[in-house]
Each structure stands twice: as C-alpha cells, then as structure tokens.
Structure 1
Amino acid sequence: MNYTYIVRCCDNTLYTGWTTDLDRRMEAHNSGKGAKYTRSRRPVELIYAERFDTKQEAMRREWEIKQLSREEKLRLAGKQPPG
C-alpha cells in the first residue's frame, strides 16, 4: 500500500508527504530522521491519510494536497468546520 498523509507539527504548521508505511514514517519524523522540514518541528501528529494502490497515485495526490490552502487541508483532515 501507498499512503499520502498530512501531519501537524509542534509549531502548528502542516506537512504533506507520501509513504509505503505510515507507522515507520511517523517514527522517522518524530525521531528526526524524516523530512528536513519536520526535523526541527517535532513532535508531529498524523491528522490525515489516504491509501492508494500505486506510488504514482500517492505522489499525484501529495502534489494535489500541497496545492491546497492551509484551511482547505484542515477541512480535508476534518479539523476545521466547513467554511
């Protein structure tokens, strides 16, 4: 399986990525071995994930989510009321 995910960092910023193993990726982010962006913003909390059959689908969705505004990402994750 392939996943596209959003995490909330300790400074309340959002990071979007993709992975084949969500648990391993969250451990990597929280141990400082994940993305450069999240290294100084630990701990991170997984707030949203979607599952895909292929890497290409997950990467495409990651790009789509990265084009969204913060408010749209929070709505997608169910963390903000519809506006």
Structure 2
Amino acid sequence: MFFPQPRKCYDNFNLAATGGTVLKFNDNVLNNNVTIIPQDSTSINSQNLINDLPSGLYKIEKTYNDGAVEETVIIKEQ
C-alpha cells in the first residue's frame, strides 16, 4: 500500500497568490481600527508591495487557489 508523503501545514506549492488584502492599522496598534485595501493577484505578488507602503503597521494576507491563506505582519519605519 502506498501512502503519500505527509505535508506540513506551511508547505505551499502554489506559484503565486490569487489575491489578498493589506490591512493598515491606523493607530499602529493591533486592534480593529484598520483600513482594508483589497489586492488583486498582480498587486499582492508585486516585489515592490512592501516598499510602496507608507510607514506604519500592516497585516498582509495572501490567498491561494487551494484555500490557503498566508498572513504576514510588518511594521515599516522610515
């Protein structure tokens, strides 16, 4: 009997995200005071996404075809 190799929860074999959102925490605190900026597949996969953001606290959510969601929290300073 053949059993496939187990996968880790963070294994993501997708080439690129299909979309996502950028949440900007308006008062630089992790709370509900946010601005939600929807992103299409081109903008969420852009290499300049983080460089183009103004300084502040952000959560970037990338959504993939298989339903996986990757979340990254960053604080960008001058």
Global fold match (TM > 0.5): no
Calculate the TM-score normalised by the size of structure 2: 0.35
Instruction: Give the TM-score taking structure 1 as reference length.
Output: 0.34
Larger radius of gyration between Structure 1 and Structure 2 = 2
Structure (1/2) with the larger strand percentage: 2
> More helix per residue: 1 or 2?
1
